Amino acid sequence: MKSDLEAALVKTDWTPAPSDQGAKATKKLLVKSFGCQMNVYDAARMADVLAPEGFSETAAPEDADLVILNTCHIREKASEKVFSELGRLRRLKEERRAEGKDLRIAVAGCVAQAEGGEILRKQRAVDIVVGPQSYHRLPELVRLAADGPVIDTDFPVEDKFNHLTPPSEDRIRTRGLTAFLTVQEGCDKFCSFCVVPYTRGAEASRDVERIVAEAEALTRAGVREITLLGQNVNAFHGRGESNEVWSLARLIERLSEIDGLARLRYTTSHPNDMTDDLIRAHGEAAKLMPFLHLPVQSGSDRILAAMNRKHRAEDYLRLVEKIRAARPDIALSSDFIVGFPGETDEDFEATLALIRAVDFASTFYFKYSPRPGTPGAEREDHVAEEVKAERLARLGEKVEAQRQAFNRALVGRTVDVLFEKPGRRPGQIAGKSPYLQAVQADGPDSMIGDVAAVEIVECGSNSLFGRLTEEAR
């Protein structure tokens, strides 16, 4: 006999719905994203795909007809959040039903991909489970959900990017002056702690032509800064017009030619894919910002090997030297995991030594969290929670001190700021430095969208304060 769950599993024989850009917005959509920037990008694509179906966005769950939880599975805490959020939504759905209305609940993102039907078992209020490869099918899934729960976590062979609705200029405008653009998805590295290769699948790159077209459309609609996204973005190997393979460096060079686009960034990268041409691009491509997120995870060769990172601490240090030689003012940031199985005090000290040697401008740090299905989770030498917590606090102190020193060192220096919005006080405008620091300065709203030179005069805990230079005023 079929279980409820199997009955819920609808294999969608999907044909694209006729696009109806003019449809009146009669339904409200809330996409709530957790996790990485890729999810922020995907959330915008989901809203774009559902706009022609009459969905307009709302920030209030009480107003929503459809709530999509765009989930993250990277660490245990991130996926736990989903289920507490679903509990709240179930109550809202019950209230709605009591009023004779409905609320559809969808779970998207990496938890959807990893857990699939399990989600319906754990929370029956869910109507749709949709994996990251299937967002172009959302209109159809929403329609099918009227007859019962639907699941779509297929890894289709075709390129999902090619099915996604491009956003209208108006929609881009409401999203601000900076934008994400996914150029690569998935990962083949299989670091032994990481679920990404399982939830996002094998590495795939978008075609150059489509990326350029999207970047041009963003720029036409006023976007000044684009961050190229990928789980392992520096492994980008998209196809050009004559089917030739482009590297990320070549793509950056091409995107730099777009008039009106002021800044380019990319994230996130693996040290082993930092090719010489990409390092050179840091010295040559003027629009490429001198700030690089290059996660190393650990400073111990033993742990790096156990993590399947396929490089040693020394290789990372040499790489940093090479990058700094190409672009002396570059600032670096990294991710670290403390308490990977088998990590000793000595291993942890090696991580602190690497942090001292590199001097990071900013750092993300996490306690190791065993993820189901990954080799790390199978190990028997897990580190005690108190030890992880103690190491996390020590590492945090160290990198926080480096971050603050980096910020303070900018006082008295002049940096370019891309102004994005009015500042906290009237007469102020706010933007970002090349190093993604928030900067406030006195200036007119008419400068929003401009990149202008700002002399930094003060350093707060989370923002820098500066004044426009004579030439910028």
Positions touching ligand 5AD (CB under 6 A) are 74-75, 193-194, 295, 297, 335, 337, 366, 368-369, 371
Among 3, 169, 190, 400, binds ligand SF4 (CB under 6 A): 190
User: By CB under 6 A, is residue 191 in contact with ligand SF4?
Assistant: yes
> Which pair of tokens denotes residue 179?
């934008």
> Which pair of tokens denotes residue 204?
């795939």
How many of the other CB atoms lie within 10 Å of CB of 212?
16
Beta pairing class for 27-33 and 66-71: parallel
Among 187, 262, 320, 331, binds ligand SF4 (CB under 6 A): 187
Q: Which of ligand SF4, ligand 5AD, none lies near 232, with the C-beta cut-off 5 to 8 A by kind?
A: ligand SF4
Strand residue runs (E) in 61-189: 66-71, 104-108, 128-130, 150-152, 178-182, 184-185
Question: Nearest approach, Cβ of 151 to ligand SF4 (angstroms)?
Answer: 24
Question: Nearest approach, Cβ of 467 to ligand 5AD (angstroms)?
Answer: 37
Among 73, 160, 263, 270, binds ligand SF4 (CB under 6 A): 270
Question: Nearest approach, Cβ of 161 to ligand 5AD (angstroms)?
Answer: 22
Question: Nearest approach, Cβ of 440 to ligand 5AD (angstroms)?
Answer: 29
Q: In terms of CB distance, is 112 or 138 closer to ligand SF4?
A: 112
Q: How far is CA 157 from CA 14, 160, 201, 368, in A?
A: 14, 8, 11, 33
Report the candidate in 194, 111, 188, 187 with the shortest Cα–Cα distance to residue 153: 111
Separation of alpha carbons 284 and 318, rounded Å:
20
Q: In terms of CB distance, is 123 or 275 closer to ligand SF4?
A: 275
How many of the other CB atoms lie within 10 Å of CB of 328?
9
> Which pair of tokens denotes residue 343?
């990590």
Separation of alpha carbons 270 and 268, rounded Å:
7
User: By CB under 6 A, is residue 382 in contact with ligand SF4?
Assistant: no
Cβ atoms of 441 and 417 closer than 8 Å = yes
Separation of alpha carbons 282 and 288, rounded Å:
7
User: Helices marked H in 99-224 — which ranges?
Assistant: 109-115, 118-122, 138-144, 169-174, 196-199, 208-220
User: By CB under 6 A, is residue 183 in contact with ligand SF4?
Assistant: no
CA neighbours within 13 Å on the CB side: how many for 240? 9
Question: Nearest approach, Cβ of 339 to ligand 5AD (angstroms)?
Answer: 9
Q: Which of ligand 5AD, ligand SF4, none lies near 197, with the C-beta cut-off 5 to 8 A by kind?
A: ligand SF4
Separation of alpha carbons 239 and 403, rounded Å:
38
Q: In terms of CB distance, is 102 or 190 closer to ligand SF4?
A: 190
User: By CB under 6 A, is residue 298 in contact with ligand SF4?
Assistant: no
Separation of alpha carbons 119 and 95, rounded Å:
22
Q: Which stretch binds ligand SF4 (CB under 6 A): 20-28, 188-196, 244-252, 450-458?
A: 188-196
Question: Nearest approach, Cβ of 308 to ligand 5AD (angstroms)?
Answer: 12
User: By CB under 6 A, is residue 372 in contact with ligand SF4?
Assistant: no
DSSP letter for each residue of 360-375:
-SEEEEEE----TTSH
Cβ atoms of 154 and 112 closer than 8 Å = no
Collapse the DSSP code of 4 into the 3-class scheme (helix H, G, I; strand E, B; otherwise coil) and give the result.
helix
Q: In terms of CB distance, is 219 or 300 closer to ligand 5AD?
A: 300
Question: Nearest approach, Cβ of 174 to ligand 5AD (angstroms)?
Answer: 28
Q: Which amino acid is at 236?
A: F
Q: In terms of CB distance, is 369 or 402 closer to ligand 5AD?
A: 369
Q: In terms of CB distance, is 246 or 366 closer to ligand 5AD?
A: 366
Window 192-251: residues binding ligand SF4 (CB under 6 A)? 194, 196-197, 231-232
Question: Nearest approach, Cβ of 187 to ligand SF4 (angstroms)?
Answer: 3
Q: What residue is closest to ligand 5AD based on CB?
A: 335
Residues that bind ligand SF4 (CB under 6 A): 187, 189-191, 194, 196-197, 231-232, 270
